[in-house]
Each structure stands twice: as C-alpha cells, then as structure tokens.
Amino acid sequence: MSVDPIVDEVRRVRDELVKKYGGLDGWIDHLQTMDQARASKAAKRAAKITSPPKSDRRKPKPRGRVVVVSRR
C-alpha cells in the first residue's frame, strides 16, 4: 500500500480535533454549534438584504384627486 502525505495529514488533524474536543461526540457537538451560528448569521444577513431601506418604510402620502385647470 502506498503512503499518501495528504491522507496522513488529514488523519493527523482529525485525531488532534477529536482529542481537543474530548472525543468524537464532542467534536461533532462543536461542529453543530458552529453550523447553527453560521446559519443564524446567514439568516440575519438575508433579512437585512431583503428589507427595504429605512427611508422607504414611511407610509405613502394619500393621493387626492387631481384637478386640472385650463387657462385660456
């Protein structure tokens, strides 16, 4: 079997993260927490983009009848 340095590095980093977060379950909990935070941030950004600017939030003025006066 050949030795792949990329696979070796991925496995080494994975092992370090599992140890850092107290096991596989701890690491998965950490990843889920990060995922929820990113989703919340994305939702806030999407709401900010889709909401109208503050100047457009005013109620429109009611329009009355237009009276045209002609001069001769």
Q: Would you write out the chain's pLDDT as a tens digit for each of its 72 residues?
A: 678 999 999 999 999 999 999 999 999 999 999 999 999 998 888 887 776 666 656 666 667 776 667 766
Report yes or no on whether pTM surpasses 0.75: no
d(CA 33, CA 39): 10
Contact predicate 17/25, CB 8 Å: no
Q: What is the pLDDT of residue 48?
A: 78
Contact predicate 29/21, CB 8 Å: yes
Q: What is the pLDDT of residue 50?
A: 72
